[in-house]
Amino acid sequence: MSYLGDSFDPNSPTVEAADKACAEYMVAEPVSPAVSAQVLREQLEYAQCMQTHGEPGFPDPSSSGGFTIPRSVDQNSGSYRSAEEACQSSLPGPPVPSGS
């Protein structure tokens, strides 16, 4: 049994219609290892910024990217918001094509 259930059919008309309706949200091409490494570096920079600006419990990114913020980090606190503001320029973003 899959986590989608035994009756899930990826070739059903409903799934095909949903795929078509949501096509604009799909990633056009796979992310290269170089871009993945760049994103991880940017995420680590952001985490270190948050940690040095009053949020020592802010986690480093996982090896696959992204953050799992523990409950001990209060994302509504003034110190969190201050750190977030101070680190805004370090936020990871999508890669910018060269020549832009």
Q: State the pTM of this model.
A: 0.60
Tokens of 46: 């952001």
- How far is the C-alpha of 72 from the C-alpha of 29, rounded, in Å? 37
pLDDT (0 to 100) of residue 19: 79
Output the tens digit of pLDDT for each of the chain's 100 residues.
344 555 667 777 887 888 788 877 766 566 667 768 888 889 999 999 999 999 999 999 888 788 888 989 999 999 999 999 999 888 766 544 444 4
- DSSP-derived secondary structure for the chain: --TT-TT--TTSHHHHHHHHHTGGGS-SSPPPHHHHHHHHHHHHHHHHHHHHTT-TTPPPPPTTS-----TTS-TTSHHHHHHHHHTGGG---PPPPTT-
